[in-house]
Structure 1
Amino acid sequence: MAKIKKGDLVQVITGRTQARGGDRGKQGRVLEVIVEKNRVVVEGVNFVTKHVRVGQTQRGTKTGGIETHEAPLHISNVALVDPESKKPTRVGHRVETNAAGKTVRVRFAKKSGKDL
Structure 2
Amino acid sequence: MAKIKKGDLVQVISGPKPERGGDRGKQGKVLEVLTEQNRVIVEGVNYVTKHNRVGQSQRGTKTGGIETMEAPIHISNVALVDPSSKKPTRVGHRVEEQVKDGEKRTVRVRYAKKSGKDL
TM-score tier (shorter): over 0.9
Alignment identity in percent?
A: 80
SS in 2 for 1:99: strand
What amino acid sits opposite 1:105 in the alignment?
Answer: R
SS in 2 for 1:19: helix
1:102 aligns with 2:105: yes
Task: Could you list the structure 1 runs, at least 4 aligned residues long, displaced by more than 4 angstroms after superposition.
Answer: none
C-alpha distance in structure 2 between counterparts of 1:113 and 1:17, whole Å: 23
Q: Which has the higher strand share?
A: 2
In the superposition, the TM-score normalised over structure 2's length comes to 0.94
SS in 1 for 2:41: strand
Which consecutive unaligned segments of at least 5 residues does structure 1 have? none
Which consecutive unaligned segments of at least 5 residues does structure 2 have? none
Q: Sort the Cα spacing of 1:21 and 1:108 in 2 relative to 1 into closer, same or farther, 3 A.
A: same
Q: Aligned residues, how many?
A: 115
Deviations 1:32-55 (A, max 9, x none): 000000000000000000110001
In the superposition, the TM-score normalised over structure 1's length comes to 0.96
In the alignment, which residue of structure 2 is the partner of 1:40? 40
